[in-house]
Amino acid sequence: MGWQKIGHTLDNLGVEVDLDEGDMPTDAVVLVKVIKEDGSVSMTKGRSETLDWINALGMLTAAQAIENSGYQLAEDD
């Protein structure tokens, strides 16, 4: 079937992010677990059009750190 936009699919899966008023999302990395027609399970990854591989890797690394330790807001100076 090939590459396709998945915004509607993410909506149907109930994907949400924590954004405040005035926040402007600039990039996204999406990991998707897929169950194939034959019942096998696979994973695929997508990213926003302007996101290069090095920044995608950085976002994935940061996401892993957040998942491992929880998310904390930075303290104001």
Give the whole-angstrom CA distance, residue 42 versus residue 11.
20
17 or 71: which leads in pLDDT: 17
* Confidence (pLDDT) at 2: 84
Torsion angle of the four alpha carbons 49, 18, 10, 25, in this order, in degrees rounded to the nearest 10: -20
* Confidence (pLDDT) at 71: 66
* Confidence (pLDDT) at 76: 59
Tell me: the pLDDT tens digits for 28-56? Answer: 999 999 999 999 999 999 999 999 999 99
DSSP for residue 75: P
- Contacts with 39 (C-beta within 8 Å, 6 or more apart), sequence order: none
Tell me: the pLDDT tens digits for 56-70? Answer: 999 999 999 988 987
- Give residue limits of the domains in the chain: 27-69
User: CA angle 59-18-42, nearest 5°?
Assistant: 50
Alpha helical stretches, state H, the chain: 7-12, 53-69
